Amino acid sequence: MDSWYIVIDGKPEGPFKFEQLTEKSVRYSTFIKSTDMDDYKEAHEIPQIRELLGFKHRVALPQYYATLDLRILASVIDYLLITAAYSFLLVIIISFTSSQFIKIAITISGLVLIPVTKFVYACIMESSPKQGSYGKYWLGLKVCDEAGLTLSFGKSIIRNLAKILSKITLGLGYLMGFFSKKQQCLHDIVAGTLVIRDRLI
């Protein structure tokens, strides 16, 4: 069973057993985490705590929006990860063939496979509990809808398809983020999504 920690008067206290939480005057806005959680969350955000203490889930609207430089850096990290994985597989495949034609064909295929892989990867990760690719996750960024909720897989597909619009406008779709209070690029506006920064405690 996980141990739980509670922030009381700005200081973490614990560990406590799950059952002990009923004795600790935990309110819906009390920051709490278990040993398997990366960071603290408000009590109403954790399903087990809501069930134990009878809280309702209160959706807090996003307050901290990701700047374009962080978003670009996250995208670069993702492309590097995918390119590195593709290059590793490429070396293995090429080492087992002697045909020069096949080697060239496989190498060129990366021009299509890498962007397609990036698209599928982004759609899956943005609709997952991580709410973003590993590049975004490592930089403390999340993709959500305008209410701060996790994207459905369908909405994630719409967002990533809409990036085509941001690109065919010669990048103007991305530059729109500079003039948006919520740092929304064209594809974010089309899909009704936000890229936010994790709350700091």
Enter the pTM of the model: 0.66
> The tokens of 6 are what?
């509670």
Domain chopping of the chain, boundaries: 4-53, 68-83+118-197
User: What are the DSSP E strand ranges found in 56-171?
Assistant: 141-145
State the pLDDT at residue 38: 83
Instruction: Summarize the confidence of residues 119-142 as an average pLDDT.
Output: 94
Our measurement of the distance from residue 101's CA atom to the centroid of its chain's CA atoms, rounded to an integer in Å, reads: 39
Q: What is the pLDDT of residues 39-98, one digit of tens each?
A: 888 877 788 878 777 766 555 566 689 989 999 999 999 999 999 999 998 888 888 888
Residue with the larger pLDDT of the pair 102 and 31: 31
27-31, 34-38, 184-188, 194-198 — most confident range:
184-188
Closest to 55 in 3D by CA, of 36, 42, 37:
42
State the pLDDT at residue 158: 96
State the pLDDT at residue 41: 85
Q: What is the CA angle 183-187-191, rounded to 5?
A: 100
Q: Which amino acid is at 13?
A: E
Exposed/middle/buried for residue 66 (C-beta within 10 Å: 0-12, 13-18, 19+) = buried
State the pLDDT at residue 200: 47
Instruction: Summarize the confidence of residues 156-160 as an average pLDDT.
Output: 96
Chain mean pLDDT for the chain: 86
2 in Cβ contact with 35 (< 8 Å): yes
Residue 119 and residue 17: Cα distance in Å, rounded?
A: 42
